[in-house]
């Protein structure tokens, strides 16, 4: 049977960003329909740790608390971290960021992406105005003056005042809207390994810069850690081809003693790194959010946090527009969101590009400049506090829900 639905907002993509937006709008009484190809797997404590994890900032935590998802995160698996240490193996530069310097208990939490998505789906269960189409995909999209009509792969048609593309880096919504993309590949890949360590990891995440490439440790619950190593693609391919024992030996030789012993390799994989930025976030009755609008170098772990701030800003704009009896799909309304977020996202992308070039393997003056930058951050307390607050996501002009945990 061919079904037709009417909605206020149609969200294509029920991942972390799309589900968060659905929860934020649904709790404010918007009639929301969400299209997603695959539901997240239910959680069980004995499940293996996922390779894809995110460093959830305090600002993002505020959003997740406001939409009722954070309690579900804490009921599954999350590793809080209070400190962040950064140093250069080739020089004396080193700096330590500590949440106590800014009066916060933590800098953030490391959470598996799947569990973030699952927590948001669980938070949406009690919201009657959120409707799911899963498994389903977007087949066709027509935009007119009065609304947008979407045809889904399951035969359903949804008409809405606004469609949101939260469908990832290869966004179908962006493609159908003919929104251009500025992009380039970085010259490295991220090699990721989940390991069980000889001792529980402390409440610290660290990043070390080496001649072969940056390395990072993200603490996971219990005696577990996520290791990230940024390397040229051919070196990543060589390491991935090794058997588990030889691969572990390579990790132990390459990573610093702060890691401690490794008892087991639980998983490994690699991800290519591409910077993408949509040339527009908004069209009449259509808007992009999260990876559909922008992707970023993962060096500082800000990818999902930028997406959550998109959610916070877009929800704030739509709630305010409805209160003024404005058409939520009008271009001038959606451009308020674009003005809030596009510049901030571009600034963060550019900062990560600068970090990438400053801290990639190099000879000449770059190692000296790296050391100087790290020493300045460590020796100037006001600068260190500013950078620490920036790491929590609580710097700058934030949407209300990210500042206070309340949408209005």
Which mean pLDDT values do the consecutive 10-residue runs of the chain (408 residues) have? 90 99 98 98 95 95 97 97 85 83 94 98 97 98 95 97 98 98 90 92 85 88 93 95 95 82 93 94 99 86 89 98 98 98 90 70 63 71 80 82 85
* 3-state SS class at 241: coil
pLDDT of residue 242: 97
Contact 393, 60 (CB under 8 A): yes
- Cβ neighbours around 125 below 10 Å, total: 10
CA atoms within 13 A on the CB side of 336: 17
d(CA 314, CA 336): 9
What is d(CA 160, CA 32) in angstroms, rounded to the nearest whole number? 9
pLDDT (0 to 100) of residue 189: 93
Cis peptide before 199 (omega within 30 of 0): no
Domain spanning 186-273: which superfamily? D-Amino Acid Oxidase, subunit A, domain 2 (3.30.9.10)
The per-residue DSSP string of 194-213 comes to EEEESS---SEEEEEE-TT-
Could you state, in order of their start, the residue ranges of all structural domains in the chain? Answer: 4-80+108-183+275-404, 186-273
CATH of 4-80+108-183+275-404, one of 3.50.50.60, 3.40.47.10, 3.30.360.10, 3.30.230.70: 3.50.50.60
The whole-number pLDDT of residue 370 equals: 66
Q: What is the pLDDT of residue 360?
A: 64
- pTM to 2 decimal places: 0.94
């Amino acid at each position: 049977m061919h079904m037709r639905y009417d909605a206020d907002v149609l969200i294509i993509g029920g991942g972390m960003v799309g589900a968060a937006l659905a929860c934020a709008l649904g709790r404010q009484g918007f009639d929301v329909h969400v299209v997603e190809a695959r539901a997240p797997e239910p959680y069980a404590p004995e499940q293996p740790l996922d390779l894809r994890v995110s460093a959830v900032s305090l600002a993002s935590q505020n959003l997740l608390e406001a939409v009722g998802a954070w309690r579900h995160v804490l009921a599954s698996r999350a590793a809080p971290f209070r400190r962040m240490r950064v140093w250069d193996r080739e020089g004396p530069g080193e700096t330590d960021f500590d949440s106590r310097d800014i009066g916060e208990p933590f800098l953030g939490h490391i959470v598996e992406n799947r569990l973030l998505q699952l927590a948001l789906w669980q938070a949406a269960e009690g919201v009657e105005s959120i409707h799911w189409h899963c498994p389903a995909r977007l087949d066709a999209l027509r935009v007119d003056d009065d609304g947008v009509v979407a045809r889904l792969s399951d035969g359903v048609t949804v008409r809405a005042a606004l469609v949101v593309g939260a469908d990832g880096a290869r966004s179908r919504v962006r493609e159908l809207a003919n929104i251009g993309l500025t992009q380039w590949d970085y010259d490295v890949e991220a090699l990721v390994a989940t390991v069980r360590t000889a001792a529980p990891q402390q409440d610290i995440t660290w990043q070390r810069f080496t001649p072969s490439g940056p390395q990072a440790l993200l603490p996971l619950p219990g005696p577990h850690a996520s290791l990230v190593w940024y390397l040229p693609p051919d070196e990543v391919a060589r390491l991935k081809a090794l058997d588990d024992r030889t691969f572990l030996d390579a990790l132990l030789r390459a990573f610093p003693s702060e890691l401690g012993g490794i008892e087991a390799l639980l998983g490994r994989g690699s991800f290519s790194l591409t910077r993408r930025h949509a040339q527009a976030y908004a069209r009449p009755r259509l808007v992009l959010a999260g990876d559909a609008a922008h992707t970023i170098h993962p060096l500082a772990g800000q990818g999902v946090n930028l997406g959550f701030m998109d959610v916070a800003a877009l929800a704030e704009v739509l709630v305010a527009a409805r209160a003024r009896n404005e058409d939520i799909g009008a271009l001038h309304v959606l451009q308020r969101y674009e003005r809030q977020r596009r510049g901030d996202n571009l600034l963060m992308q550019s900062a990560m590009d600068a970090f990438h070039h400053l801290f990639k393997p190099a000879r000449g003056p770059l190692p000296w400049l790296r050391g100087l930058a790290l020493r300045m951050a460590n020796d100037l307390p006001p600068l260190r506090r500013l950078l620490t607050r920036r790491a929590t996501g609580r710097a700058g002009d934030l949407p209300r829900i990210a500042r206070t945990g309340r949408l209005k």
